[in-house]
Structure 1
Amino acid sequence: MWSGLALKNWFWQGLFVLHFTSLVFAQEITLKAKVGDSVLLPCCYKLPSLQALFKYRVYWQTKNSDVVIAYSKGTLLRTDAKYENRTKMDLQNLTMSIFPVKLSDNDIYECIVQELENGAYKLACDVTVVLAVVADFSKPVISADVPKDACGSTEVMVNCSSHGGFPKPRVSGILNNMSVDWQTKAAASENSLYNVTAKLQLNLTEDIVLTCTIEYDDFKVSSNYSLTPRPEKLCPRAMALGHSRK
């Protein structure tokens, strides 16, 4: 079994003279995947048959040159411990699968294929795959701090919170069909997932329907909340005045 350093040295020695060609033929693909799902990272080459693999070197690495999967002459040389039991390469179209996807898989990957011709390896193709990992935020929880003795027009602080998502979110809201701006605070936890809290101060003078929406990447999750002010005629002071006039 090759060590990581030896494997990198072996591969980069083979690629050094092909660096310029690699720059010319390099492609870039962007993919998105959710935590817990599976994802297929396409390479740029399809072998004519499974038996042809012995004529190729195939190398999947990250932008930091960390080896993910490497094959040479049909033999698996190494799978990085970070991806062990979670990655597999199709031996004909060279696609690499990752399952289950973790937040740490958010990275830039490169598939490099070399073909053996006349006793020397020549670059067949080189593709870069940008993997953007998304973690779903929880359904927002909305609450309102309403004074117990509130009556009629009342200042109310509304809170909206959600947790466990990625990337950093944006909070938007609708109040009776009008857009509102939340005071938002998003913080990353120890596992790099974000927790977000948002506050909205409003003057409660009528029935309202409020929506809090957490937007992250191309995804969003929202909740609705209703508030009804206490009618003036039911206020203790108003009722007391009514009784005194009788």
Structure 2
Amino acid sequence: MLLRSPGLLLLLLSGLRAATQEKEVRAMVGSTVELKCIYPEENSFDLNDLYVYWQISGSNTVVTYYLPKNSSAGHENNHYKNRAHLSLDSMKQGDFSLSLQNVTPQDAQKFNCLVFRESLQLGKILEMEVSLHVAANYSLPVISTPSSESRDPELTFTCRSTNGYPRPNVYWINETDNSPLDKALQNDTVSLNSQGLYDVVSILRIPWTPNMNVGCCVENVLLHQNLTGRSQTERSSGTEGRITETPDSLQKEDNVVIFITLALLLVSVIVAVVIYMGKSKCPHRNYTGAQAATVVCELTGRG
């Protein structure tokens, strides 16, 4: 008897647990991933002879499927609707791979691919299991530091990082000697946000130490990635915010001052010479009367 109903086919699949090929695939959240399911030998297939079925392993969740005579619409799980696709042209060549678009954290599952041929009385010709691991990059950790005016005997640092996957590991580091701090000193809060991604807040409390440098490291195990935020705190010493200049920069400023002083002196000398030469061309003539001792300047350049 030939089974053309997805429900009846599902019952059949639950009893077929032969040796299954297994593969692992990694994908970033929001990307498109291809889950491979390829017939091992070169062959061509008639689509009217094929039953192709993708489901979540160990459950009745239907991802997508193909049944002959275009009877394969409307039975997939809503989570995968319009995101999971098979290529008819590829299936003719024995490639039954699943293309999954806009990957979400909820897609971190084991997917089962099964292929049957109607001409073999629904004999199974291929079964493959693909484990999909999903990852998302965490944001660079941001550290809130204690106030420099604080007189508390304890320093409290807060580290925040968001929108990552899977669940992170958080470590605090003493940047002075690059040694890990005791995890008993930190308190981590990890929560899932509306996007299904993880946000983490880690609070570190340590005895007060002057000029303390710490680093907050958020580890994404799946991506083999460590993101580290760094911070520094120090008691108020009257130097906060001061810019320290190097001897070279001070020397350059001294040279500029000397140059400007010499330039001003040179200009003063030139002006004095010009005034002196101008007076030398103006002989004094004394007149009697109200305009006595008036300076009369002869105009040069006239005949």
**Percent of residue pairs identical:** 24
Higher RCO, Cα 8 Å, sep 6+: 1
Matches within 5 A, 1:172-183: 172-176=171-175, 177-180=178-181, 181=183, 182-183=186-187
- Going from structure 1 to structure 2, the CA distance change for 1:224 and 1:168 (only over 3 Å counts) comes to same
Which of residues 68, 76, 97 is equivalent to 1:73? 68
Matches within 5 A, 1:187-206: 187-206=191-210
Instruction: Give the C-alpha shift of residue 24 in structure 1.
Output: 3.1
Counterpart for residue 88 of structure 1: 85
Deviates further, 24-33 or 124-133: 24-33
- Going from structure 1 to structure 2, the CA distance change for 1:145 and 1:108 (only over 3 Å counts) comes to same
Alignment of 1:29 with 2:33, yes or no, is: no
Instruction: Give the C-alpha shift of residue 55 in structure 1.
Output: 2.0
Question: How far does the alpha carbon of each residue in 1:137-165 deviate from its partner, in whole angstroms, 9 at most, with x for none?
Answer: 22211011225254xx9631111011222
Instruction: Give the C-alpha shift of residue 201 in structure 1.
Output: 1.8
C-alpha separation in 2, matches of 1:149 and 1:113: 68
Q: Secondary structure at the match of 2:17?
A: helix
Count of aligned residue pairs for this structure pair: 220
* AA aligned opposite 1:172: Y
Alignment of 1:169 with 2:163, yes or no, is: no
Question: How far does the alpha carbon of each residue in 1:14-36 deviate from its partner, in whole angstroms, 9 at most, with x for none?
Answer: 546xx4xx433212222222211
* AA aligned opposite 2:10: W
Matches within 5 A, 1:1-246: 6-9=5-8, 11-12=9-10, 14-15=12-13, 19=15, 22-45=16-39, 48-49=43-44, 52-63=46-57, 64-73=59-68, 75=70, 77-78=72-73, 80=76, 81-90=78-87, 91-92=90-91, 93-117=95-119, 120-146=121-147, 148=149, 150=151, 155-176=154-175, 177-180=178-181, 181=183, 182-219=186-223, 220-231=226-237
C-alpha separation in 1, matches of 2:210 and 2:170: 24
* AA aligned opposite 1:42: K
Q: CA contact under 8 A between 1:68 and 1:78: conserved in structure 2?
A: no
Q: Secondary structure at the match of 1:25?
A: coil
- Going from structure 1 to structure 2, the CA distance change for 1:145 and 1:13 (only over 3 Å counts) comes to closer
- Going from structure 1 to structure 2, the CA distance change for 1:168 and 1:217 (only over 3 Å counts) comes to same
C-alpha separation in 2, matches of 1:74 and 1:207: 74
Instruction: Give the C-alpha shift of residue 101 in structure 1.
Output: 0.7
C-alpha separation in 1, matches of 2:155 and 2:32: 44
C-alpha separation in 1, matches of 2:70 and 2:51: 9
Cα RMSD (Å): 2.8
* AA aligned opposite 1:221: L
Q: CA contact under 8 A between 1:70 and 1:76: conserved in structure 2?
A: no
Instruction: Give the C-alpha shift of residue 39 in structure 1.
Output: 0.9
Unpaired runs of 5+ residues, structure 2, are 240-303
Unpaired runs of 5+ residues, structure 1, are 1-5, 235-246
* AA aligned opposite 1:225: S
* AA aligned opposite 2:160: S
Q: Secondary structure at the match of 1:54?
A: helix
TM-score (norm 2): 0.63
Instruction: Give the C-alpha shift of residue 198 in structure 1.
Output: 0.8
C-alpha separation in 2, matches of 1:207 and 1:123: 69
Q: CA contact under 8 A between 1:45 and 1:113: conserved in structure 2?
A: no
More strand by share: 1
- Going from structure 1 to structure 2, the CA distance change for 1:62 and 1:206 (only over 3 Å counts) comes to same
Q: CA contact under 8 A between 2:145 and 2:232: conserved in structure 1?
A: no
C-alpha separation in 2, matches of 1:87 and 1:205: 56
